[in-house]
Amino acid sequence: MTDEPKRPEPPLTGDERTQLNGFLDFLRATVVWKCSGLTDEQARRPLVPSELTTVAGLLGHLTLVEQYWFTVVLDGAEDVWKEALEVDPDAEFRVAMQTPIERLIAAYEAECERSRQVVARMGLDDEVAFRGDRKVNVRFVVAHMIEETGRHAGHLDLLRELIDGLTGE
């Protein structure tokens, strides 16, 4: 893949919500860019000692964390991964290794859109119950997902360079 990525640049000005969402959307688009244009074999190829740290595995994981933090934690939906993760803490990585890369990308983009819709309905200070008697606010979830997505975008950047030489922020 040699095309320049089509990513929304984070805004240089704006309120907190605009800038947080801007950076998260930039990172989400970076993830999609780094995963696009690969064959299923390339996306599943283990290139580091951890056999699950593949393009496909990371994309499956990022889809799960989008679903968990925004749909389950903030929106209160049922955690459809709970049982599978109790049996295998790496279930989302393993399932992704059996899923075509184009389906993984589409699922990730759909989950990101659902996440945007959840955040749009809430204020950054809105709090929800979290793991018993604790609370978490929307700001924490968005900031955490910037960190999570940015960290794994870095992993994807390295994997993609090892696969076919593609580099770029």
AA identity, residue 17 = R
CATH of the domain at 160: 1.20.120.450
Question: What average pLDDT score do residues 36-53 get?
Answer: 96
Enumerate the β-bridge partners of residue 129. Answer: 135
Token match 């994309």: residue?
59
Residue 33, in any domain of the structure:
no
Residue 134, in any domain of the structure:
yes
DSSP string, 33-54: HHHTT--HHHHH---SSSTT-S
Residue 146, in any domain of the structure:
yes
- Between 106 and 10, the more confident residue is 106
AA identity, residue 163 = I
How many structural domains is the chain composed of?
A: 1
Residue 117, in any domain of the structure:
yes
Angle (CA) 21-144-131 rounded to 5° is 125
Whole-number Å distance between alpha carbons of 95 and 54: 12
For 168, half-sphere exposure in the C-beta direction (CA atoms, 13 angstrom radius) is: 15
Instruction: Give the pair of three-digit tokens for residue 98.
Output: 């059996």
Residue 20, in any domain of the structure:
no
Residue pLDDT, tens place only, 56-98: 999 999 999 999 999 999 999 999 999 999 999 999 999 999 9
Range of the domain at 91: 38-164
Instruction: Give the pair of three-digit tokens for residue 106.
Output: 């589409």
CA dihedral angle for residue 47, residue 85, residue 96, residue 53, rounded to 10 degrees: -10
Residue pLDDT, tens place only, 104-119: 999 999 999 999 999 9
Please tell me the predicted confidence (pLDDT) of residue 10: 85
